[in-house]
A and B are shown apart, each in its own frame.
Chain A
Amino acid sequence: DQQVKQNSPSLSVQEGRISILNCDYTNSMFDYFLWYKKYPAEGPTFLISISSIKDKNEDGRFTVFLNKSAKHLSLHIVPSQPGDSAVYFCAASDGNRDDKIIFGKGTRLHILP
């Protein structure tokens, strides 16, 4: 039972354009959401997070949007750069229960020259 779903296994975007990665979740108790980036043969690295009390968080080229009513979040990368080619994982936790973080299956982003 996937509580965090990333329905697009891969995405290709032209360099300089906007990349939009989507994530849906089923557990309404999740109150904290994170995005991680992973290169081959490396562990995932933290990108950006958002608390459920917000609907947007921005950090440089990366913006995360949260729509609680739709149980949906998205990561926007603009402008996309070649180094952004990686696998992106959406993750969520229920901070009122414990600090277990549940990950989605990931979306592989290809930035095209």
Chain B
Amino acid sequence: GAGVSQTPSNKVTEKGKYVELRCDPISGHTALYWYRQSLGQGPEFLIYFQGTGAADDSGLPNDRFFAVRPEGSVSTLKIQRTERGDSAVYLCASSSWGQGTNTGELFFGEGSRLTVL
């Protein structure tokens, strides 16, 4: 597709369950970012990939959160033993930053809204 695609758009789960959120970036973008946005807050940085490797994962809140990008394209954010505080919109963005451009423009998907009951 032309833009960043995130699935599912909505996910309701029970406390303690495992969740996977998927991001399909814009074709050719090597940089991929995950952010989390809670109500009334700005996007909170979680992790950033350049290619297949995590260039910066300093925003992952704890070891229940993990993200992979095995082929340098699609990425999956994995959350184990979900807690009610994990409820938020999880935003994925991709960028061509680092490929000779420097606009810093991130192209965001519409987000995956996670609700943990």
Q: Which residues of A approach B to under 8 Å, CB–CB?
A: 4, 6, 9, 32, 34, 36, 41-46, 49, 51, 89, 93, 95, 98-106
The total of chain B residues at the interface (CB under 8 A) is: 31
Nearest Cβ on chain A to B22's Cβ, whole angstroms: 15
Partner of B104, one of A32, A41, A44, A45: A32
| Bound-state Cα–Cα, A100 to B50, Å | 11
Task: Note all chain B residues with C-beta closer than 8 A to A44.
Answer: 43, 91, 106, 108
Interface residue? B4 (CB, 8 A): yes
| Bound-state Cα–Cα, A40 to B58, Å | 28
Q: Mark B25-56, 1 if CB is under 8 A from A, else 0.
A: 00000010101000011111100101000011
Q: Which residues of B approach A to under 8 Å, CB–CB?
A: 4, 31, 33, 35, 40-45, 48, 50, 55-56, 58-59, 91, 93, 95, 97-98, 102-111
Q: Are B104 and A93 in contact (CB under 8 A)?
A: yes
| Bound-state Cα–Cα, A101 to B105, Å | 10
| Bound-state Cα–Cα, A106 to B95, Å | 21
Q: How many A-B contacts at CB < 8 Å in the complex?
A: 67
Q: Are A98 and B93 in contact (CB under 8 A)?
A: no
Give 20 new A-B contacts, CB below 8 A, not counting A4-B42, A43-B4.
Answer: A6-B42, A9-B40, A41-B110, A43-B91, A44-B91, A46-B103, A46-B105, A46-B107, A51-B102, A89-B42, A99-B50, A99-B95, A99-B104, A100-B45, A100-B58, A101-B33, A102-B45, A103-B44, A105-B42, A106-B42
Task: Note all chain B residues with C-beta closer than 8 A to A46.
Answer: 103-107
- Give A47's nearest chain B residue, CB to CB: B105
Q: Are B109 and A101 in contact (CB under 8 A)?
A: no
Nearest Cβ on chain B to A32's Cβ, whole angstroms: 5
| Bound-state Cα–Cα, A98 to B106, Å | 14
Nearest Cβ on chain B to A73's Cβ, whole angstroms: 14
- Give B6's nearest chain A residue, CB to CB: A43
A–B Cβ pairs within 8 angstroms, 27 of them: A6-B42, A32-B104, A34-B104, A41-B110, A42-B110, A43-B91, A43-B109, A43-B110, A44-B43, A44-B91, A44-B106, A45-B108, A46-B106, A46-B107, A49-B104, A49-B105, A95-B102, A98-B48, A98-B55, A99-B97, A100-B56, A101-B45, A101-B104, A101-B106, A103-B45, A105-B41, A106-B41
